[in-house]
Every structure is written in structure tokens, then in C-alpha cells.
Structure 1
């Protein structure tokens, strides 16, 4: 379970969608008060495996909140996600015990990798979706999707995908052989990165097919949406 202390609804939504796509549960705290009330009701464990914390909050300071967090749960890892980019702020955050300090604007994929790496080093939790390398077969072609490196390889050759293409491919693979509507793909994969219409879904799928080199990997089901046609090896 990943906790997010962030007052921006849009940023929390982005983080939640990306983390949930990786298989993690997410608990959101718009205010410091919300986090403090939640932690006050925890007994033996903090209820989250890691905290992502903003610094500038309407009802408090993330630095101070992290200090209180460390007093009660000294082994709970946390990282700061903030617009405060000065070196002095970074140093303060790390001195507070943060495992990492990420400055806004940030890359969603990079943040996921940082979270995954942090938890892996701690040995506390693994993403239930991220099981490493997944292989799919279509005819005589072999497609590999590597969750640990966020890479896709076709016949061993790496394919460069955008964040949206990576997310769409992962969603289609995870639901195969289910047919997914454009609306479902839009909601699960694109709204979180502010790319907003069903026509945009078609464009991303078209580009994804081109990069995969074979349109048969992703079938268009007329009147419904798309289906991934590879067979899991």
C-alpha cells in the first residue's frame, strides 16, 4: 500500500492511476490532518508501505509531517514530491530521513521506477502485477514486456515506446483476450496523463501497431474496441 500526501487532486489522480496500474494499492491524504488522523488509528503497523509526500500543504508543512512520521514509525520509508527545487530544500528533505527527493514537474514512469527500487531495496513489498519478464507469442514472433526495466522487446530488439503506448500495451496484455473499449482505455491509461479523447486512443494504438511491426498483435473489434491477440508463453 502506497500513501500519498498531496493537496492537488490532479496530481493525486495521476499518481494513483500509475501506481494502481503497477498493482499497488493507494491511500490518498489531501491534508496533513488526514494523514495524522489515519496514523493515529494504526496500532502495530503504519497501514502503508511507503509515503509519497508533498512539502507545501494548505494545513501544514511536509517536512514537519515527516518528522512526526519518523518518530512513530522510524522504519517507514518516504520520499518527497515537491515543487521546491532549491539545493537547501533537497538537503533538508534528505536530512529528515527521506529515501528520495523528486522535484515537480516529474516523470510518472520515473517515479514508479523510484518507488519500485526503493521498496525492492527495503525488501518490504513487491508490485503484484510486476512479475518481471512476460513473454507473448504470435505466430513465429516473440514479444517481451519487462516490468523491471519498463522495456518492450520484439525478437530481442528493444522497441522505444512512449509512456502512453507502454501503459496501453500493458493494459491490453493484462486483460487479454478481453475486448477493451476506447472509453476503458482512455479512462485507465490516458486521462492520468492528460491526453483526453477516444480519437487519441486510436492514434496511440496505430502508433503502437506500427512499432510492433504487425497489426495482428492488436485486433480492432468493430463497434467495441481493441483486443490483444498474443498468446502468453
Structure 2
């Protein structure tokens, strides 16, 4: 059974979301502040962290950055901060999704289920390989896993969607708007600059900017070759 930690200081919001998750058979632990969840994370690792950004004892962005430096835990941000700069900050930290308040608890649960399905898919290979120079990139569609030269690469849902979309259609070039509409879906709030942030994160994780090539004045294309 999947386990989700909800860190939200508004008890009504927290309880409503927890109730919907429990109806879906998902185990939930609730926290109203960062201190208690930080202690709990030292003892156990949830399948997903649902994290408010503005909490009474600290900043959710800073906390998430610290968590990501120690553990590979998917994170969904809940926040009233709807500025593009805040969304970009969340994505740069490595958030899998970013939900602005007020929101529908049912919609958030659907987003949570999508993240859990992506990160806990059963093992079976359906894995195209791509090469770039001396590196080999493996895209395992069934397990939603990326490996680079045998090492696992942790991607957010948006990063996964962009990389697999480009790779499956290489050498086709896609504009930022096309990628925004095709790859981000319910996460597509914001401007085309969001795509630049995701590509920047992908390049950092893949260790080589050449995997995704910038086509000046238009957009991006995947630069690896099928093995």
C-alpha cells in the first residue's frame, strides 16, 4: 500500500485531502508543521510528500531542497503562491507537480495517483536505447525509469514526459508551446518559460547538454541516436 505524507497547516484542507486519499486505499500521515515531518523522515520514507510552501515553522521550498539532497522522494507542492517565479522555483527544486490554492481535493488525488503510478510501476522491460557519443540512455516505458550508462536517473513527471516525447520523435523539432501543450497537461499553467526550466533540469540530470539540442528561435529536439 502506498504511503503519502501531507504537510499542511490548514487542518480542514489537510483532513479533506487525507479523507479522499484513504478512500483510494492510500495510507496517509498528516503533519501541520515541518518539525514533526522532518523527525518522521529520519525513520521512514513515504512514497510521496505533499508539501505546503508556507508553513508556521519554515519555508516548504527550502525544506524540499534539503529533503531532495538526501532522499529521492516525489514531491507535490500545495501553495497559495501563484506567481510564475514561485512555480519555476518549485520545478527547479524537482517537484513532480505544483497545485495552487484553492483547489479541488479530487483533482489533487488524481494527480497524486498519477505520480504514484509512475514511480511504482511493476517491473517489465520495454526499453529503447539511445546513444550520444560514448553514453547510452535507456528509456524503460513499462517501469517509467531512465538509466544512463547503467545508473538510475530520477525524473519528475514533467521531465519524463518531455524527454520521452522528444526521444520518440527525434529528430523532429518542437516549439516550447508545442511541448507545453503536449507534455505538461494539467501541469501546464504558466508560460513557455516553464519548458526552459524543465529542459535545464533534464540536461543537468543527464550530465550533458547535448542530449537535448536548442534550436534557436524555435525550440528543442532530442539529439541521441537509436542504438
| TM-score calculated relative to the size of structure 1 | 0.50
| TM-score calculated relative to the size of structure 2 | 0.51
The structure whose Rg is larger is 1
State how 1:8-87 maps to structure 2 within 5 Å. Answer: 8-42=10-44, 46=45, 48-73=46-71, 75-87=72-84
3-state SS of paired residue (2:22) = helix
Tell me how far 1:40 sits from its aligned partner: 2.1
Match of 2:93 among 71, 81, 96: 96
Q: What residue in structure 2 maps to residue 121 of structure 1?
A: 118
Separation (CA, whole Å) in 2 of partners of 1:68 and 1:28: 20
Give runs of ≥4 in structure 1 deviating > 4 Å. none
Separation (CA, whole Å) in 1 of partners of 2:42 and 2:104: 32
Can you give the 5+ residue segments of structure 2 that lack an aligned partner in the other structure?
Answer: 123-227
Separation (CA, whole Å) in 2 of partners of 1:5 and 1:120: 21
Tell me how far 1:85 sits from its aligned partner: 0.5
Q: What residue in structure 1 maps to residue 191 of structure 2?
A: none
3-state SS of paired residue (1:2) = strand
Tell me how far 1:51 sits from its aligned partner: 0.6
- Number of aligned residue pairs: 120
Q: What residue in structure 1 maps to residue 8 of structure 2?
A: 6
Relative to 1, partners in 2 of residues 1:34 and 1:124: Cα closer, same or farther, differing over 3 Å?
A: farther
3-state SS of paired residue (1:51) = strand
Deviations 1:165-197 (A, max 9, x none): xxxxxxxxxxxxxxxxxxxxxxxxxxxxxxxxx
Tell me how far 1:121 sits from its aligned partner: 1.4
Relative to 1, partners in 2 of residues 1:124 and 1:39: Cα closer, same or farther, differing over 3 Å?
A: farther
Tell me how far 1:93 sits from its aligned partner: 0.5
Tell me how far 1:118 sits from its aligned partner: 1.0
Tell me how far 1:41 sits from its aligned partner: 2.7
Separation (CA, whole Å) in 1 of partners of 2:121 and 2:76: 15
Relative to 1, partners in 2 of residues 1:90 and 1:5: Cα closer, same or farther, differing over 3 Å?
A: same
Separation (CA, whole Å) in 2 of partners of 1:36 and 1:2: 14
Tell me how far 1:123 sits from its aligned partner: 2.1
